[in-house]
Amino acid sequence: MTTTTTAPASDASLGDHLFAAVQRCLPTRALSALMYRIAEIDSPGFKNGFIKAFMRGYPIDLSEAERETVEEYRHFNDFFTRALKRGARPMPSDPNLLASPVDGRISQLGAIRDGRIFQAKGHDYTAAELLADAELAKAFDGGSFATIYLAPHNYHRVHIPFGGKLRSWTYVPGRLFSVNPATARAMPRLFSRNERMVAIFDTAFGPMAVVMVGALFVGGVETVWGGRLTPPHSRAATPFHHQPDATVALARGDEMGRFHMGSTVVLLAPRGALDWQANLAAGDTLRLGQPLAQVLQHAVA
């Protein structure tokens, strides 16, 4: 298990710093909104060509999707947020295991130390910044976090890693920098600067935060309880806090939202709630449903 703490110096390359510097100059919200509109074009010739070109560049296996041919998708976004066949990503048989919420790769995981979350060598940020709520962040001090990066070729629906009831959710406006490893190495406080959706669930082990972080060319984020969250991409200076209008109770493995293009999910759990699987480390590839941690405070219903 990786329980990394903040290192004194970044290991970002010159190329990483240049890539981050270019992004600071870009109109990232406008570019992301434009990508969303392009990805919604439903002209058969355009969307089929777009999807086929994308599949030539990335290792995508449509045999595991509900719809296996390019022609069955209405537009690129429909393809990008494709559903998998039933049973393609089974949940663990042990009810006391926290499951991966996505297909992706571990960026970092470990302990939240002094309220801070490790991002990359030389960089961290606070749970209060990420959640946009200093009081709420106290519930996770000394707890656990996992940051999982979704590459463009991954399945882009997000599922709840452990059963719970939605307590609240928050839309936090922000920038839309890339969240790829190069940017994470070079950009301070990346995940707490980007636009994001923070969902807090009450579970058998206490509160659980599932944060869906937006990114460059992430044209849209949506949830199962609220529908499309973005676009438009707000420039407001303060977050928008919401209480669910009706009870939203999700079982482990239920879909909770989706990204239109790649991004990152950050999970937070309280002190003493989780014991990460010993074989997990930064850089490891994950599949939805793969065991991430043993839940230490769980009363099986």
User: What residues are annotated to the active site?
Assistant: 103, 159, 263
H-state helical runs in the chain: 14-25, 28-39, 44-57, 76-80, 127-131, 134-137, 181-186, 190-193
Cα gap 92→252, rounded to integer Å = 10
Output phi, psi for 40, to 5 deg. Answer: -95, 0
Q: Nearest to residue 161, comparing CAs of 205, 125, 219?
A: 205
* Identity at 267, one-letter amino acid code: L
Return the ∠ at Cα 185 (arms to 159 and 108), rounded to 5°: 40
Q: What count of other Cβ atoms lies within 10 Å of the Cβ of residue 246?
A: 6
Cα gap 24→187, rounded to integer Å = 10
DSSP E strands, the chain: 97-99, 104-111, 116-120, 123-126, 144-149, 157-159, 164-172, 196-203, 206-213, 220-223, 227-230, 240-242, 249-250, 255-260, 264-269, 274-276, 285-286, 291-295
- Helix (H, G, I), strand (E, B), or coil: what is residue 164? strand
H-state helical runs in 4-121: 14-25, 28-39, 44-57, 76-80
Pairing, β 227-230 against β 116-120: unpaired
Judge contact between 162 and 203, C-beta under 8 A. Answer: yes
